[in-house]
Structure 1
Amino acid sequence: MADDLPYKPAPGEIPTNPGVYRFRGDDDRVLYVGKAKNLRQRLSNYFAPLETLHERTRRMVLTATRVDWTVVPTDVDSLQLEYQWIKQYNPPFNVKYRDDKSYPFLAITLADEAPRVMMTRNRKIRGAKYFGPYPKVWAVRDTIDLMLKVFPIRTCNDAQYRRAMQTGKPCFPGQIGKCGGPCSMTVSIEEHRKIVDDFIAFMQGGDERFTIELTTRMKAAAAALDFEQAAIYRDKLESIDAVLTKSALVLPDSEDADLFGIVGDELDAAVHHFIIRGGRVRGASSHIVEKELDLTNGELVDQVLQRTYGDAKGSDIPRRVLVPEAPATKAELEEFLSERRGTRVEIADALRGQRAELMRNATLNAQQALVRHKSQRTSDYSTRTQALADLQEALGMPDAPLRIECYDISHLQGTNVVGSMVVFEDGLPRKDQYRAFGIAETTDDTDSIYQVLSRRLARLDESGDPEQTGKPRFSYPPQLLLVDGGQPQVNAAARALAESGHTEIALAGIAKRLEELWLPGDDFPVILPRTSEALYLVQRLRDEAHRFAITHQRARRKRDIRTVLSEIPGLGESRIKALLKHFGSVAALREATADQIQELPGIGPKLAQTIFMHLARG
């Protein structure tokens, strides 16, 4: 089937050198840019039989009309060229980055005669030095207010500065003590520049020399009985301490690093970036990465680092970059970043100690950013309407599915089997109508799906006022049923629909790759386009059904565990909690010896033996 691609290069035509390749489509538009250590080996993956390719990769190679490549001397050169071309062409099949929100920065306009400190969201001010990003506007303003007490520099705008310098009268912020530039008539341009340099030195690393120097001056002033001056130094020390307190110490105070937490799914990934200088978090931001082709975690890390540091130079690049997984191109990326910084840059995993704890925090923030992104897409009315229309068209339904129910099965090695039903109306979740189904006996997931849907569909025929039955709208029919799984699960659900007599309800199964929806009786799945809003809606339905099933399965398992343990004489609530926390499950506890059980505080030899014997009999 690879011969179906007429632009496939002849055997031996592709070189084995490192380089960068471009897939092009109609009108010579660049569709995708990639790099390779061995161009022939890498490109051969794209010309494998089409049925073996990931759906999005297959879509890309079928859209393309030709491929070209450029050989480069080294792997580092291929990194640089790939970044430049992605930036230049903005290919639709490469990953796309979008800010989770527009974060504010603290900027110093070093290109000005008298540099100014300000809060801005504009990252393109000529000659500016940036600090942050900060999560909130007030955090930037608080930092500026505190730092001005220690390093009084210019805050007025350019018009006020020029007017003050021309007239010899202080600018208005200078008159009220909010500007310390030459326009305030308190310092010269040269003196102001030195204060600015000190400000930057402190912000880059929390330079301790300022604290030491101010403490020495305060003590000297106090010894000379100049208590007014000593109080000024004391206030400056308090301002420095306040800035340092706001940026928590998370790593050793000599550590300059950037740390990236990354969480993704089939369609998107979220990146949370901690900027650490002098061991303290000086800035944090989140970004959403839209993945067009299927990427490994290492490949995603590679793309994130290129995007973050492609235009950076000098101290904007830290000495160490901490990532959840080192990419295959680690050595090339280190050389790439070291050239831009001017000194060696290390890329490392954050697996132990304080780094691991900070990585867990960044990963949690990334997870929240991804959830926010998904929620925002489904909360917009026009987006929801488009999603329902796309789903109606893809499944060939006569009307848009205003009520959708999605089902999933969860169990632990075949025990505590639970089915979940989540409901979306008009593209939004209706959590008050979610249901969980306990399944006493089942042979496999397909039988579980059949049982759950049979029980649910039986309720459609119930008469009576939903408000009086206490189950509002449970008897209302959905327009679409979704089940998590492929053709076997769909066939089981179709059997339940046929037996219930409700064949008017549409049915589809969500395959693992997510772009694929299986319909009853069809040999091939329906493919949802990557840009379709329906794809995001289906993904959220699947994820919500999975979350709800897992939640109830764990709750049921916990109840069962507590029931077993509560039957043991001498075990109260606190001891049960201690056992569950230590062993995690009754299955693990059953594997433990009496001596291992006895290691827990508050459990003596006799009680440990009682627990062991009771579980052994069970």
Structure 2
Amino acid sequence: MSQAALLRDVAAGLPLVPGCYLFRDGQGTLLYVGKAKNLRRRVLSYFRPLESQPAKTRALLRDARRLEVILTGSEVEALILENSLVKRHRPRFNVLLRDDKNFPYLKLTMGEPFPRVVLVRRPRQDGNLYFGPYTPASVARRSLKMIARFFKVATCYESFDGSRRRPCLLYQMKQCLAPCVGYVQEAPYGEAVRHVRLFLEGRDKELAGELERRMAAASKALEYENAARYRDLLRAVAALNRRQAVAAVGLEDQDYFAMHREGNSASLAIFEMRAGLVQSRREFFFEGAGGEDGAFMEQALSRYYSVAPLVPGRVFVSTPPEGAGVLEEWLAGRRGQRVRIKCPRRGVHRQFMDTVLENARLAWESRFAADHNLGVAVHEALRETLGLAETPSRIEALDISHLAGRETVASVVVWEGGRPRRSEYRRLNIRSARPGDDYAAMEEAVARRYGRLVREKRRLPDLVLVDGGAGQLAAAQAALAKLGVGNLPVIALAKQREEIYLPGVKEPVELPTHAPVRHLVTRIRDEAHRFALAAHRRRRRRRTLTTELMQVRGIGRRRSRDLLQTFGSVEGVRRASQGRLMAVVGPVVAAAVRAHFSQERS
């Protein structure tokens, strides 16, 4: 198979999402960076008949040996990332972005009594706040005009030293409060600056809540002009606020670590963000990656930063590492300043972490699930081993798990085309089976899962794999027979010796240790088990946190859940102000919460 054909196969498996694609030569040198709204469609366009391609594309494909992609949240983010990568690496086949033009930022000056908002091309570490980059530049200019029109904060470079005697035209147009001539005091001007900051940071709800309160107060005081101004602000914020996940709110250096793990193999994606932009991306792969996710992340961080030339001030992780406090202390020693390790749960950092996670998943698939030809051969070998009529391309696995016999849950994972279909994973809370009765639980799970597929006339799997032995297999067969699909192939896989139990066969089949078929079924079964354990861990954590908050008088399960959803953790509730607590649970319960944690500290 030619090199172009191999690259085309890679392109055909790309996702239908925005991102950047990178062509490299045999030595790993970057040849070309491009952006796309739809990665698969755009990259496949390079592999049309060569005679229809421009000379540059033919030359690129002649030298290209590797194809990589970086997923982003939008086409705008892809454009920003493309610009950053081209400026850093200057690939041979990129010509359009080699100039030194930068996308604009909005700077909010913080070191003067009357801060102003101005447009700049380069952010700096000077104590001011920078927002952006904005693409196209007209978005930045439009935002600046909106700030002048509605917030009336200064957007010029005029001196505020008292030398000016008359305000400029912007004041006459009611687009500036004229601090340059002393027409406004620091307190009301500071309020306007705070609103601008909330607006630029994309904190829509917080800004809207404050504006609504001020509008209501102005209306109650019969200050209808002020009430109308707050109303207009509310409408403007809703219409024109714009956020970009690739652009950091601040300019502090920060790294993102995201892990994707299935069975005993894992991929780790690391994005380094410098001055608000992604500067580099690295991927690492691990086989035989046993143990807990937290231990894995701890090892990844310690190994990476033991040789990394720079330790940033903030490290965001998809999974909290074990010994996070010790790691922070060690990293602070290497950096010479404090380092924070955080697992973001909301906001812009959570959005960006989702992008890094998706890149880690794609990297895992390209490394561990991309040898498609081998996968086809393994599935064919599985058909022969089990004596199936057709090669199973869609396999579903069921696992029963519980906590000390209670809270029994069935997990269903779906494997199709040699890859996990995570969007089709399901969990079923077992209702009728007695605690600890795994056979009855398996029968209920199979009946509910495939009863629904039969009722909705959806596709049934080619093979059902249940975790367990002969008892679980018999329970699954009984449930399928009652549904009228007793001919659906089903097997059981026991954990201890990885033996396969087949219908109508007394003795289990023990596969050779290194047989690809054994690795396949074990991997699918382990994925179902991992999915079940993850669900139980989350459930146990929620129950523990909920129980702790329910010790406060006036808080039941519902209010506990509301507090955790709003503040993220018990620690977040503990640190919340009286006003923020009141907004969730009312003044009486808010006072009880504050009193509870005050007693805890004393």
Q: Which has the higher contact order (CA 8 A, sep 6+)?
A: 1
> Rg bigger for which structure?
1
Fold match by TM threshold 0.5: no
The TM-score, its normalising length taken from structure 2, stands at 0.40
The TM-score, its normalising length taken from structure 1, stands at 0.39
